[in-house]
Amino acid sequence: MAESQPTAAPQKDERVREMSSLRKALIRPELGAICGTILVFVFFLSIASDSGMFAPEGIFNWGTVSAQFAIIAVGACLLMIAGEFDLSVGSMIGFSGIIIALMSVQWGFPTWFSILVAFALALAIGALNGYLVVKTGLPSFIVTLAFLYILRGLTIFIAIATTRKTIIGGVKDAAEGDPIAWLFGGKVFNWLFVWLADLGVVGKFVAGPKAGQPVVEGIPMLMIWALILIIFGHFLLTRTKFGNWIFASGGDAQAARYVGVPVNRVKISMFMFTAFCATIFATCQVMEFGSAAADRGLLKEFEAIISVVIGGALLTGGYGSVIGAALGALIFGVVQQGLFFAGVESSLFRVFLGVILLLAVILNTYIRRMITGER
Amino acid sequence: MSDALIELVDIQKHFGPVIALNGVTVSVKAGECHCLLGDNGAGKSTFIKTMSGVHKPTHGKIRIEGREVNFESPRDAMNAGIATVYQDLAMIPLMSVTRNFWMGREPEKRIGPLKFFDFTRANQVTMSEMAKMGIHLRSPDQAVGTLSGGERQTVAISRAVYFGAKVLILDEPTSALGVRQTSNVLATIDKVRKKGIGVVFITHNVRHAMAVGDRFTVLNRGKTLGTAERGNIQAEELQELMAGGQELAQLEGSLGGTV
């Protein structure tokens, strides 16, 4: 047999072209999203730079919207890489918000307890979603579509049955002085912006009750949560054993099982993580607005999936990047708010979004084929 | 037969009214390549699944190094040193070679309270293990999808060897490969055998079996038709036993011995 091959000196296969290190550094799952981000920023810098979009208030405006998308996109991204979908994210946002408002305002529980209950219920529903998908072998598309309707209907029913309204307000008063509510609704680093305002980098209010204060009060906790989740998701996926199991479960569940990867456990925990992200989103929103509404989070599941797909993840699982999904969320937020700043007719937003989605997916498909050798 | 790594005696497997295996006896010695031949539907797949713990036999005994064992799951078989490389389920093409190689057994390093996948060590071991099998990767983070079919089989085989397999079951590793890739895989089998690992090579290609086999067992309609040593049997005889009848012999005449 072919025993004569020298193993000491690595021989080169003449059919494999040498890749330059630049090309190697560029060809990565996030490349499509990076190009998209650059394109979108160049576009808005050229058409909307004098609209205040890139002034501090403007940055926080689209930054907050992007952070909202990013929070749910991180969950959707890891779940999609593990090979499953969750279409109940939007309904979960409405459900968690109503639970918090109902318990803290209507039933007088402390806000921190209401928030913990909302998280516990969301994790349980996420686990149920996952359990049903894993045990029945049904596509997660169908199982979570059912929960999209079940949760939304249940949310509206609970709200109307207890308060005769679909909007529950007064959460801000109930959360006054609460030990953990500020984690979701507050703003941090106020001192930094006071300092920047004194330097003249950030504007100050000139009139009204807030006169003299900086126009940007601080960094919203929503953004901090988005950053924490992105960093956590990225490290979990690319640097840990569990991350390898996520890729394996989505890439080929049977092959992964044969080598001892606990595929069911991985999938169920990713459903739970998605529900967790949705509840973070819901809690931040409730604390920000001071109210919960039964119709909150409508279509958020698709916005999360769009961000993830723009970010280079494969719809069928096994491939993707959290950084890409976060950039997808950034593109989404910048486009949505940027068209507003540019004074473009708002109906054109969807046209724009559809075009970006299509371009990103085409580009991502080419990049993925280069990396994985798919035909 | 006392020097056998694994012995399967009179294995029967029934799926309801269907008798998939009806008395199969095979043993594998250290450092030998035992070829299991059989036509489609002969029960090869059922038999290797029984051997690797996926199915529990309805009747019969499995002995490892003389000790009788009962596999409850593939995990049990793996822990007993039985590794199986499935034809198309061996590797996940979207993932890198390193990620595939360590899948399910990722090495970790501790940084403070957190544990991380130790890529430095994982990449190093992957590269050197692959080099031992004669495959030189461009980089350990290249996706398995960029490798050829033969190289993928080799990654799977070297993974099993690295993780201490005593018995390596190869499910039709050459059936989808070209001539050159087949010879690479056969060369790999030879290397593995020289390490003292018992190889079970499942195939329906007599020529591939004759190239590396030490012993040959033919399965037909769920039964073993006996085991032959290398040198005591001709390719034509094996072919005939697999076909289990006269038709092929006649066919062979008209095809001029090309099948």
User: What's the structural domain count of chain A?
Assistant: 1
Q: Which of B75, B94, B194 to mutate to test the interface with A (most CBs of A within 10 A)?
A: B94
B39-68 average pLDDT score: 87
Nearest to A28 by CA among B143, B116, B106, B101: B143
Residue of B nearest to A81 (CA): B94
- A18 found inside a domain: no
Rounded to the nearest angstrom, the minimum Cα separation between A375 and chain B is: 9
pLDDT for the residue A88 = 96
pLDDT for the residue B251 = 54
pLDDT at A1 over 80: no
Report the range out of A82-86, A349-353, B156-160 with the highest average pLDDT: A82-86
CB contact under 8 Å between B138 and A19, yes or no, is yes
B10-27 average pLDDT score: 88
- For residue B184, how far is the Cα from the chain centroid? 15
- From chain A, pick out residues whose CB is under 8 angstroms from the CB of B94: 247, 251, 314, 318-319, 372
| Chain B interface includes A32 (CB < 8 A) | no
Nearest to B102 by CA among A12, A165, A226, A256: A256
Exposed / middle / buried, residue B89 (Cβ in 10 Å: 0-12, 13-18, 19+): middle
- From chain A, pick out residues whose CB is under 8 angstroms from the CB of B138: 16, 19
Which pLDDT tens digit goes with each residue over A274-286? 999 999 999 999 9
- A300 found inside a domain: yes
CB contact under 8 Å between A259 and B93, yes or no, is no
Q: What is the ipTM of this complex?
A: 0.85
- From chain B, pick out residues whose CB is under 8 angstroms from the CB of A258: 74, 84, 86, 89
CB contact under 8 Å between A371 and B143, yes or no, is yes
A57-66 average pLDDT score: 92
Band (A4; pLDDT cuts 50, 70, 90): very low
B233-252 average pLDDT score: 68
Q: What's the rounded Cα separation, in Å, for the pair B136 and A5?
A: 11
Helix (H) or strand (E) holding A136: helix A111-136
- A40 found inside a domain: no
Which string of b and e fits A93-122 if b means at least 16 CB within 10 Å?
A: bbbbbbbbbbbbbeeebbbeebbebbbebb
* Tokens representing residue B24 in the block: 């199969």
Question: Which has the minimum average pLDDT: A17-21, A81-85, B68-72, B221-225?
Answer: A17-21
Average pLDDT over all residues of chain A: 89
In this structure, what are the phi and psi dihedrals at residue A100, rounded to the nearest 5 degrees? -65, -50
pLDDT at B230 over 90: no
* Tokens representing residue A159 in the block: 């709200």
* Tokens representing residue A112 in the block: 């921190």
Residues 6+ apart with CB under 8 A from A42: none
- A41 found inside a domain: no
Which pLDDT tens digit goes with each residue over A245-277? 999 999 999 889 888 889 999 999 999 999 999
Please count the residue pairs, one from chain A and one from chain B, whose beta carbons lie less than 8 angstroms apart.
98
- Which residue of B84, B92, B187 is in closest CB contact with A251? B92
- Which residue of B92, B102, B187 is in closest CB contact with A2? B187
- Domain segments of chain B: what residues? 4-93+163-255
Q: Any idea which fold B4-93+163-255 has? A: Rossmann fold (3.40.50)
Rounded to the nearest angstrom, the minimum Cα separation between A25 and chain B is: 12
Which pLDDT tens digit goes with each residue over A271-327? 999 999 999 999 999 999 999 999 999 999 999 999 999 999 998 999 999 999 999
Nearest to B92 by CA among A253, A336, A70: A253
- Which residue of A7, A254, A318 is in closest CB contact with B134? A7
- A329 found inside a domain: yes
Exposed / middle / buried, residue B135 (Cβ in 10 Å: 0-12, 13-18, 19+): buried
pLDDT for the residue A140 = 95
A129-155 average pLDDT score: 96
- A278 found inside a domain: yes
- A35 found inside a domain: no
A202 or A35, greater pLDDT: A35
Nearest to B193 by CA among B174, B214, B218, B211: B214
CB contact under 8 Å between A248 and B92, yes or no, is yes
CB contact under 8 Å between B117 and A244, yes or no, is yes
| Chain B interface includes A313 (CB < 8 A) | no
pLDDT for the residue B180 = 84
pLDDT for the residue A9 = 41
pLDDT for the residue B127 = 92
Q: What's the rounded Cα separation, in Å, for the pair A269 and A263?
A: 10
Which pLDDT tens digit goes with each residue over A156-165? 999 999 999 9
Rounded to the nearest angstrom, the minimum Cα separation between A301 and chain B is: 25
User: What residues of chain A, 206 to 235, have a C-beta less than 8 Å from chain B?
Assistant: 235
Domain that holds residue A78: 55-369
3-state secondary structure (DSSP) of residue B165: coil
In this structure, what are the phi and psi dihedrals at residue A294, rounded to the nearest 5 degrees? -70, -15
Q: What's the rounded Cα separation, in Å, for the pair B74 and B84?
A: 9
CB contact under 8 Å between A251 and B93, yes or no, is yes
Percent of the residues in chain A that have a pLDDT greater than 70, as a whole number: 93
- A30 found inside a domain: no
B207-236 average pLDDT score: 84
Q: Which of B92, B126, B142 to mutate to test the interface with A (most CBs of A within 10 A)?
A: B92
pLDDT for the residue A277 = 97
Residues of chain B that touch chain A, judged by Cβ-Cβ distance less than 8 Å: 74-75, 78, 84, 86, 89-95, 99, 102-106, 108, 115-117, 119, 131-132, 134, 136, 138, 143, 145-147, 183-184, 186-187, 190, 212
pLDDT for the residue A8 = 41
